[in-house]
Chain A
Amino acid sequence: MTTGAIYALVALGYTLVYGILELINFAHGDVFMLGGMISATLATQVFKLDVGGGASKWPLVLLTLLIAMVACGSINASIERIAYRPLRGAPRLAPLITAIGMSFILENIALAWKGPNFVSVPNILPRSEVFHVGQVTYTWNKLTVVLITVPVLIGLVYLVQKTRQGKAMRATAQNADAAAMMGINVDRTISFTFLIAGGLAGAAGLLYALYVTNVRFDQGFQLGLIAFTAAVLGGIGNLPGAVLGAVLIGLIQAFNEGLSWHAPGSDWTQSIVFSILILILVFRPEGLLGERTPEGA
């Protein structure tokens, strides 16, 4: 569930961008990784958070969250500006290739910044027990992840469904030309979408850094692929679908790695996730919650 929540935040970023541009933003996973790096640095070096420390650290955690979200949002929006906007109207493969290039560039920025080792973060979130069911205890750090994820998701749904900007986003996703004729600034709407997607990735990065307590420069790409699978599983372009898919993938991963019987174990997690991805794309490309569209995807 907890991993699922983090996947959900990243998967939403993929879905938002895909919904509006029909582009797989390969660099998204690396934006998430940078979010983790930024929050790890802020939390440990600027705010000097550590194990324990009482209630006074919660505002600082929230402040870190906010900074990470803004930073990642800006990074993502600049990526769109540099690598994708000039290629609108080019063959489909062109922006996909720049996305891969961008992903490698971000990875190397992190490599140059933090070096090839894991950046470790102390257990800032308390690990005391909230409740337990049978043998399984549910700890505060897990609950915190969910407590941060859920309001962010609610905020996102509100933004997309109720606000003027959200309406512009949906209109652009449906038909960019028509939206432009209706007076929507398409470029700005797309930038805004990337900003939001990056913000979600930043939040996910913070939660990952605090929950898993270590980040490395090459983790973003892998996690990004898993999150993308989640988005496809739920139906790409579909917001609730992405969350559902992410929770499912999180559960599948937990079962695969946690249970001792009939599970191939963590060595095979990636293979399982990608097999799911391939099966979904082949047999039900619209995903679990997606609509059947003429292109079938």
Chain B
Amino acid sequence: MTDYLVRLGVPRRLAKLALPVAATLIALLYPLFVGNLFSQFPSTRTAVVMLVYMMMAVGLNIVVGYAGLLDLGYVAFYAMGAYTAAWFSSIQFPNQNFHLWDVGVGSKVPGFHVSVWLLLPLAGILTAIVGVMIGLPTLRLRGDYLAIVTLGFGEIMPQIARNGDNLFGTGFNLTNGPNGITPLDSPGFGTLNYLQGSGTFFTSDRLFYWTALVLLLITIFCSWRLRDSRLGRAWIAIREDETAAAAMGVPLMRTKTWAYATGAFFGGVAGAYYASFKSATFPGDFFFNISVFILCMVILGGMGNIWGVIVGAALLAYLDQAGLADLGNLLNVDAPKYEFGIFGVILLVVMLFRPEGLIPSSRRAAEFHEGVHDEPAYDLDHE
């Protein structure tokens, strides 16, 4: 498409933007014409979930795709974001009474009630801090050990969430245990309440959809600019050859920690937004499966390539939300039951036959086919 426009006399700079702009326009108008499409197309509500997963996948892509650190506990960041949103916009802490720009909550209602627009960055920052806390002790480990440690954290977090209604026997109710925290306050502006919607045009689903789209665009923009920044180039250098990167003066620990914090930030924002959308957060939402699910999106789409990751995320999230059930009905099998088996097959087949993913970045593809020198650069004992 780019070449075609260039031949028509459009400057290359503009022509390169044509495809993303077209995609954004279609996405923007999607809720308006989805009613006229086949019923197999995802509904606006499904599309919101898809957008949230795309955000998480773009976030994870920074850790896995750019910096080459396998993170199997991304769900911990997602959980952290979701619980942050839940704590500060519900009646979870009944002894407090704090209201800040909340929407549709009576001023007598106890608990923290902070506007979601403040909570999204707050959730991101808190999650990034958690990411750094996890990262600092563990990032010096080799890739496969790092994977297993992140997996450990991914298992510990939901357990804290599940047992957090009586934290260590002190009676302090942090997470309301297996019952989860619900309902959450609605996002909104002034009198515009997202959960209720307004009129026939601004329905609740459409409001959530457009907001999610804006968040996703911000995420993509950050991710894209970061990749070409000094930090992003340092990540890619580390991914390709730690020894050479260190020799060139890239501070390994600091750069990796930044990758972790950035990835965690977006995971946290996505988690907080998802929790507000569902108006609930339950510990059962944060299984290891979700980490693998998001990882699967990144790998299927193409590690390191934003567009690939988005396509992968859209595809898998759609399958997860509606596609598998539809497909199963069509073939008369219980497809959702075997969802993760299917994802397992996807992981296996992609890694074996096209490790660079559906839409690879040319650089990553070369690494997979020509091999990289990814032995650890440093001696653990004499750092």
Residues of A in contact with B (beta carbons under 8 Å apart): 22-24, 82-83, 86-87, 89-98, 100-105, 107-109, 111-112, 116, 221, 225, 228, 232, 264, 267-268, 270-271, 274-275, 277-278, 281-282, 285, 292, 294-297
Contact = CB atoms under 8 A, between A and B. Distances in A.
B257 to A, nearest CB: 15
B168 A270 contact: no
Interface residues of B, number: 52
Nearest to A229: B152
Contacts of B340: 104, 107-108
A98 B351 contact: yes
A95 B70 CA distance: 12
A270 B343 CA distance: 25
Given A111-B337, A274-B152, A274-B156, A105 B344 contact: yes
Contacts, number: 145
B376 A270 contact: no
B380 A297 contact: yes
A281 B376 CA distance: 15
A273 to B, nearest CB: 8
B117 interface: no
B159 A267 contact: yes
Interface in B271-307: 288, 292, 295, 299
Contacts of A103: 344
A83 B367 contact: no
Contact of B344 (A90, A94, A108, A285): A108
Contacts of A100: 72, 292, 295, 344, 347
Secondary structure at the A interface, as helix, strand, loop or mixed, is helix
Contact of B155 (A23, A97, A274, A296): A274
Interface string B326-344: 0000000000011011111
A98 B341 contact: no
B144 A96 contact: yes
B16 interface: no
B130 to A, nearest CB: 14
B352 A87 contact: yes
B188 interface: no
Given A228-B148, A270-B155, A278 B348 contact: no
B338 to A, nearest CB: 5
Contacts of A90: 355, 368, 371
A91 B367 contact: yes
